Amino acid sequence: MLQDKGLSESEEAFRAPGPALGEASAANVPEPALAAPGLSGAALGSPPGPGADVAAATAEQTIENIKVGLHEKELWKKFHEAGTEMIITKAGRRMFPSYKVKVTGMNPKTKYILLIDIVPADDHRYKFCDNKWMVAGKAEPAMPGRLYVHPDSPATGAHWMRQLVSFQKLKLTNNHLDPFGHIILNSMHKYQPRLHIVKADENNAFGSKNTAFCTHVFPETSFISVTSYQNHKITQLKIENNPFAKGFRGSDDSDLRVARLQSKEYPVISKSIMRQRLISPQLSGTPDVGPLLGTHQALQHYQHENGAHSQLAEAQDLPLSTFPAQRDSSLFYHCLKRRADGGRHLDLPCKRSYLEAPSSVGEDHYFRSPPPYDQQMLSPSYCSEVTPREACMYSGSGPEIAGVSGVDDLPPPPLSCNMWTSVSPYTSYSVQTMETVPYQPFPTHFTATTMMPRLPTLSAQSSQPPGNTHFSVYNQLSQSQVRERGPSASFPRERGLPPGCERKPPSPHLNAANEFLYSQTFSLSRESSLQYHSGMGTVENWTDG
């Protein structure tokens, strides 16, 4: 399963210069918390059935013990303090700093899937004026949610813990029709990457009654997506730290470039900017409080050792949720628990509705043309290995491609790209919006699953020190609850790929993870009682649901 090359991406990160590793060790990650007492590989590997509950309970303990530390935290902080920007291009652009984590506390023998999604941090659109990021209006409708699954997935806990886990090949795009599976973002919007760890043991994967997973959020990894850099400080940080930008370091020529750039650092303040400031006085670096704060009553928390807080959700009663920014320095684990009917309905206005979104002829054609690999993606029939070093974006169908979809006996598709429909594992803002205002370029069902929630506003990028902590959610999903949602509702069919971009079918693990996350979203989208959960990371804010 894990070929030598399959480890390469992680190894690359692991071979990173010394200081980076030092920073990683300085992250808020306790020493490895090995398997919980009583945990055994046999229990984790027990097949579903009568023992599923026991296995689930064990998994719950296990997932709780997983700690994740952000690699190059200091570098991330530098960027965060300046207001991280990430270039997005039509072809897709990597993130820098790249997302690398050190994971501990896994059961060495249990298999896990590590994946990342990127969700809106708030519902604002931004503009860079007067050397500051300012709110420029309401956010565009969220782009189709996609997941980036680590190429090594699924792999054992021992593998993940052996070295840094690098997501450096993750790419961001602003191409709504991106066929490569890159994560689609809107320019000039603020986003928050999230790491999900899903237990995917061979014998206790998503087919089991309960599936354990956890989510980790590092506030300092939030960023504003741009098509060209706005803040000269960010440009310089990128040039200084990104080896690929070495060509822009130091020389006379680059000095000239810098001089040119610096004129951009202090732009003339236009009337519109002044008007904007008057309209939005909170914009100038003041942390805007997310509109969803205060729903923490729905959350449960448990005191965790060393001041951290761990939250365990009850199986079958836990939606994935998004997290607020946190400025505390302590480590928190959040676990969100859905209230029976205490959710909030938030109908956030958008700059334009999906129906108003223009749909070009090209887009129309694109989606109506039968993709050559479309159906192939629907037959995740075998346990394929994820090709090492390949992009690991998954797009396309959901339940259809899941290993539990009942199409397992189909022959493996001759695909090579690991595209997989991404799923927003979190509830959406507004059910009404999702169900009645389809985003035209995508099938309605796709839209319904990809309307992404927005995180409560993260700490202000330029004026607030980055949080020293990250958020985690531990979850225990009821698979039966997932299944009854009906699998057909939602994934978009895979779209066409340019010639030469072959794809490999995602493994059942990955498909299952996708379905699993998707189903969470879907289940929530049908229940207006819960739209969004959030909470500030203080003990006082958390009460039993």
Partner DNA sequence: TCTTCTGTCACTTTTGAATTGT
Partner DNA sequence: AACAATTCAAAAGTGACAGAAG
Residues near DNA, by CB under 7 A? 5, 8, 12, 87, 89-90, 93-94, 96, 127-129, 136, 169, 171, 174-175, 186-188, 226-230, 235, 238-239, 242-248, 256-258, 260-261, 267, 270, 272-273, 389
Q: Which is nearer to DNA, 128 or 167 (CB)?
A: 128
State the minimum distance, in angstroms, from the CB of residue 178 to DNA. Answer: 11
Q: Smaller CB distance to DNA: residue 269 or 539?
A: 269
For residue 536, give the DSSP letter.
-
In what order do the strands lie in the sheet containing 183-184? Answer: 93-94, 171-173, 183-184
As measured in angstroms, the least distance from the Cβ of 248 to DNA is 5
Q: Which residues, other chains included, contact 162 with Cβ-Cβ below 8 Å and sequence gap of 6+?
A: 10
The identity of residue 198, as a single letter, is V
Name which of 230 and 469 has its Cβ closer to DNA: 230
Rounded to whole angstroms, the Cα distance separating 371 from 392 reads 19
Ramachandran area for residue 285 (φ above 0: left; ψ -120 to 50: alpha; else beta): left
SS3 of 357-388: the string is: CCCCHHHHHHHHCCCCCHHHHCCCCCCCCCCC
- By C-beta, is 273 or 293 nearer to DNA? 273
226 vs 308, which CB is nearer to DNA? Answer: 226
Burial (CB count within 10 angstroms: exposed 0-12, middle 13-18, buried 19+), residue 179: buried
Least spacing, CB of residue 487 vs DNA, in Å: 33
CB of 288 to DNA, least distance (A): 17
Smallest gap from residue 261 Cβ to DNA (A) = 5
Residue 228 beta carbon to DNA: minimum distance, rounded to whole angstroms: 5
Cα–Cα distance between 434 and 155 in angstroms, integer? Answer: 35
Reference 421, options 511, 525, 523; nearest CA is 511
- Nearer to DNA by Cβ, of 136 and 212: the residue is 136
Q: Containing H/E element for 516?
A: helix 508-525
Cβ closest to DNA, residue 18 vs residue 243: 243
Residue with smaller CB distance to DNA, 238 or 485: 238
CB of 112 to DNA, least distance (A): 23
CB 308 within 8 A of CB 331: yes
Shortest distance (Å) from residue 136 CB to DNA? 6
Whole-angstrom distance, CA of residue 327 vs CA of residue 69: 17
- What's the number of CA atoms in the CB half-sphere (13 Å) around residue 352? 7
